[in-house]
Amino acid sequence: MVSIMDVTIPKKFYHHLIFNLTLIEIVLSGNVLIWPTDGSHWLNIKMILEELNQRNHNVTVLASSATLFINSNSDSPVNFEVIPVSYKKSNIDSLIEHMIMLWIDHRPTPLTLWTFYKELGKLLDTFFRINIQICDGVLNNPKLMARLRKSRFDVLLADPVTICGDLVALKLGIPFMYTLRFSPASTVERHCGKIPAPASYVPAALSELTDQMTFGERLKNTMSYPLQDYIFQSYWGEWNSYYSKVLGRPTTLCETMGKAEIWLIRTYWDFEFPRPYLPNFEFVGGLHCKPAKPLPKVLWRYKGKKPAMLGANTRLYDWIPQNDLLGHPKAKAFITHGGTNGIYEAIYHGVPMVGVPMFADQPDNIAHMKAKGAAVEVNINTMTSADLLNALRTVINDPSYKENAMRLKRIHHDQPVKPLDRAVFWIEFVMRHKGAKHLRPAAHNLTWYQYHSLDVIGFLLACAATAVFLVTKCCLFSCRKFGKTGKKKKRE
Amino acid sequence: MVSIMDVTIPKKFYHHLIFNLTLIEIVLSGNVLIWPTDGSHWLNIKMILEELNQRNHNVTVLASSATLFINSNSDSPVNFEVIPVSYKKSNIDSLIEHMIMLWIDHRPTPLTLWTFYKELGKLLDTFFRINIQICDGVLNNPKLMARLRKSRFDVLLADPVTICGDLVALKLGIPFMYTLRFSPASTVERHCGKIPAPASYVPAALSELTDQMTFGERLKNTMSYPLQDYIFQSYWGEWNSYYSKVLGRPTTLCETMGKAEIWLIRTYWDFEFPRPYLPNFEFVGGLHCKPAKPLPKVLWRYKGKKPAMLGANTRLYDWIPQNDLLGHPKAKAFITHGGTNGIYEAIYHGVPMVGVPMFADQPDNIAHMKAKGAAVEVNINTMTSADLLNALRTVINDPSYKENAMRLKRIHHDQPVKPLDRAVFWIEFVMRHKGAKHLRPAAHNLTWYQYHSLDVIGFLLACAATAVFLVTKCCLFSCRKFGKTGKKKKRE
């Protein structure tokens, strides 16, 4: 970090110089530590670290020895610190398979809710055992910690779906920030980030509801919040002990997460229903999207055995450049499992969707796109080829789907600053100012009953009750006294 | 408005072209109608309209015949439509004088609260009679309305402190947006804009509280909200009838205000305490600030008789370029009445303040700056020359004040986009997209009891009560039955 007075600044850093050059600290080159989550989550972080690299920062990624996608096959020079773990890639694969099957077998409805959450709890236990190995692999490795300390990182960027990044940052004495798509029922955002979520119009994550709810749906939504909170807070119990042990004082996972300087949320108002948020939340959905490159002739991605009855006009590919395909002028529709990355590529290019959601946020994502008129959903458990064909015909032939997809595209492209640039701006802001404390709501300093003003309301009720009691007593006393006097007078 | 396919676009419009040129509608030249508020409010709008002018838009201002500051003495060509009114400039002057004296005599404390609001109510009545003349002057003038309709405005930008701008926009069939500093207790922002404000850490406007409150202060704050709501909602009664009459259907002022596409709030997180907000709220505080120009030697602004005991080193000036003075390297401190414009100029240039607040948001503003360690307050009613001198010495000699002022300056200057550019971006966004419906929270479609989920909570309580009742009945029935059987058995 360099404080600038009379330095010639390369043109590429001009975006930092907002209005008055002489008094702003500029990051010429900083050190960024990344705490990623595997799978599709990595694609987002990868874009950020490539951009950070472009802007002359040194980036180091902490990754376990058993990752699926996280690797150094990047275009840009990134340091990797590998954390040895005893589990294998196959364990992660089977965890994800279990997760998918949980949703396919018990997709949460009012009837399956209990089974769903019981099974989810079991999965979270497995996840805990895997995650704790990563934490221990860093925090109990004095050599690695010393090496990290020596690197003098300016900021740690964590995907909090893999827990512990915040803890590593605290141990290194550096500020940290999050990149997050969602937590179930926004438990993390609400309880740890202090974002308000009125149950009357903010649908709980995993509920598949929209911001327009009937009475019954609002009832379901209102109950979803405490139910999911309960599940996650019981899951957090083990983490609370772990965090207290590592930090050497009684604390909780949530309290620690609340210290994040900035929350980069991987959605935007093209996708999200408008809802309250806080100044340290930045919505950077679609930051991985790019203009399409020219395309070879491709039609399908498929891993596995080629079905015997496949038509002559269909070809199978193990991998296709999805973004380029969606950006092709002839792309009429997108059949998608509804991951956030894919949905954002469809929004970016204005392509209507047929959603076949499988797990996690996918059913919610498709519910959002349906509500915005840009998608039709097909149920993976019950669908026939005729259902899929009808859905495809609908989104292709009914012009409203294309119009709505194009409207979302226009919203997405018409922002004051591109999502990736905003994400990197706030990372660099935290580096320049060693945090972003001016964006931190005072709600973090309150207990839950203070936050909801329950002590104040209790006091006011007690005052009112005392007043009613005193007035009643006085009235009774007066009645009795004047009653007696009256009777006396009558007698006289 | 032009939809672009193959047009050469002047370089100055490049900021609209976010990523994909061919499919974005660009406003090459639009028509903007301005509904301003007089006094210091005009300074902010003036900056916006000059910038709009710079970007090739045609700007028309609707102003009454008795304005204080609103005039066509602008550097840029702006159309003025003058609304004839029967009141005079002197009436406005005396209204403002009354307002100042109300605060000086009854500055709201728990003891003076009732008198303060009673007197404020009287002032609001006067304000209503003045404001209604402006409304009638436009809405009941068919020639003017026809002329405005003919001008095909793309958007109306209103300062809602002068009521009716929204109504004019609705009658013209165009989208409208607001520029607003605050409303008392955020009544307008909360009830009409649906912004949440937890009383536990969001201080009510006019309360002079901060985001760090003791129990007693939270008690005061919690009671401030409904009290101020009550005052303002009774004031709104007359407006509700007026709005219903003009629109020819039962409606309220608040419902109409809720249709604003975007709320440009004239503060930012350098000044404001972090609090929840909504995606259609944009914080553009300090948009009027500019780098300082070289300065002639000036020391004081004073209107009135020169005091006899004035020292030889003090000079009086009727007007000084305040921004240039604050930007001068030798400016050590700023003695200010605490208006938002002046405070932002001090933040922009990093100058600590001595606040002598007089009325409206000024006591609040100084409370904010005190809490952020950049100001000392002196009470205008009780101050002696020694108090003022001590305060000045404190902010000049205690380095923490300068440091904090510089910290606020750094925060202010380090934004992804300058406040004025953000304000104009969203005005142009509304012009390009004929609104910003994707940012509008569904809270607007709910009744107050639905919004707070009172119907859902009521239903759940009724269910719980029924369950308790049934279980109790069953238990009693079983006890009686088994009790009898037991007794029978015993007898046997």
What CATH number is associated with residue A335?
3.40.50.2000
Minimal C-alpha gap between B107 and chain A (Å) = 25
**Same-domain check for residues A174 and A102:** yes
User: Which residue type is seen at A11?
Assistant: K
> pLDDT confidence of B18, banded at 50, 70, 90?
very low
pLDDT of the residue at B251: 97
**Same-domain check for residues A214 and A152:** yes
- What would the two tokens of residue A110 be? 């009012």
Write the residue in A218, A410, A446 that is nearest to B201 by C-beta.
A446
**Same-domain check for residues B157 and B244:** yes
B80: left (phi over 0), alpha (psi -120 to 50) or beta: beta
Comparison of pLDDT for B316 and A3, the residue scoring more = B316
Domain assignment present for residue B168? The answer is yes
Write the residue in A279, A416, A425 that is nearest to B269 by C-beta.
A279
> pLDDT confidence of B2, banded at 50, 70, 90?
very low
Domain assignment present for residue B225? The answer is yes
Mean pLDDT of B90-104: 91
Q: Do the Cβ atoms of B450 and A200 come within 8 Å?
A: yes
How many residues in chain A? 492
pLDDT of the residue at A485: 63
**Same-domain check for residues B90 and B228:** yes
- Chain A interface disruption, residue of B414, B421, B428, most A CBs within 10 A: B414
pLDDT of the residue at A73: 64
Q: What are phi and psi of A36, to 5 degrees?
A: -90, 170
pLDDT of the residue at A298: 83
Quick check: B118 pLDDT over 90?
no
Write the residue in A410, A425, A450 that is nearest to B433 by C-beta.
A410
CA distance linking residue A19 with residue B416, whole number of Å: 11
Cβ partners under 8 Å of residue B227, min gap 6: B113, B117, B185
Instruction: Give the total number of structural domains in chain B.
Output: 3
Quick check: B3 pLDDT over 50?
no
Write the residue in A198, A274, A417 that is nearest to B439 by C-beta.
A274
Q: Do the Cβ atoms of A446 and B200 come within 8 Å?
A: yes
Minimal C-alpha gap between B319 and chain A (Å) = 26
Domain assignment present for residue B302? The answer is no
Q: Which residues of B touch A223 (CB under 8 A)?
A: 460
Q: Which residues of A touch B460 (CB under 8 A)?
A: 219, 222-223
Mean pLDDT of B274-281: 98
Domain assignment present for residue A332? The answer is yes
Nearest CA in chain B to A408: B438
**Same-domain check for residues B57 and B41:** yes
pLDDT of the residue at B53: 93
What percent of chain B has pLDDT above 90?
71
Q: Do the Cβ atoms of B414 and A422 come within 8 Å?
A: no
Nearest CA in chain A to B348: A20
**Same-domain check for residues A83 and A182:** yes
**Same-domain check for residues A428 and A455:** no
- What would the two tokens of residue B492 be? 């046997």
> pLDDT confidence of B404, banded at 50, 70, 90?
very high
Q: Give me the residues of chain A with pLDDT under 50, please.
A: 1-25, 299
Domain assignment present for residue B55? The answer is yes
Q: Which residues of A touch B281 (CB under 8 A)?
A: none
**Same-domain check for residues B137 and B53:** yes
Cβ partners under 8 Å of residue A251, min gap 6: A240, A243, A244
**Same-domain check for residues A426 and A361:** no
Structure confidence by residue, pLDDT tens digits, B338-390: 999 999 999 999 999 999 999 999 999 999 999 999 999 999 999 999 999 99
Mean pLDDT of B57-70: 92
CA distance linking residue A414 with residue B18, whole number of Å: 6
**Same-domain check for residues A156 and A272:** yes
Q: Which residues of A touch B413 (CB under 8 A)?
A: 18-20, 23-24
Of B297, B409, B410, nearest in space to B349 by CA: B409
**Same-domain check for residues A383 and A467:** no
Quick check: B304 pLDDT over 80?
no
pLDDT of the residue at B13: 42
pLDDT of the residue at B231: 80
**Same-domain check for residues A216 and A145:** yes
Nearest CA in chain B to A199: B453
Q: Do the Cβ atoms of B196 and A200 come within 8 Å?
A: no
Of A205, A221, A166, A256, nearest in space to A362 by CA: A205
Domain assignment present for residue A314? The answer is no
Structure confidence by residue, pLDDT tens digits, B22-32: 344 455 689 99
pLDDT of the residue at B296: 65
Least confident piece of the model among A116-130, B40-54, B266-280: A116-130
In this prediction the pTM is 0.91
Residue A160 belongs to domain spanning: 30-287+420-445
Instruction: For B371-432, give the secondary structure using H, E and C.
Output: HCCCEEECCCCCCCHHHHHHHHHHHHHCHHHHHHHHHHHHHHHCCCCCHHHHHHHHHHHHHH
Write the residue in B24, B413, B441 that is nearest to A414 by C-beta.
B24
Of A15, A60, A57, A13, nearest in space to A34 by CA: A60
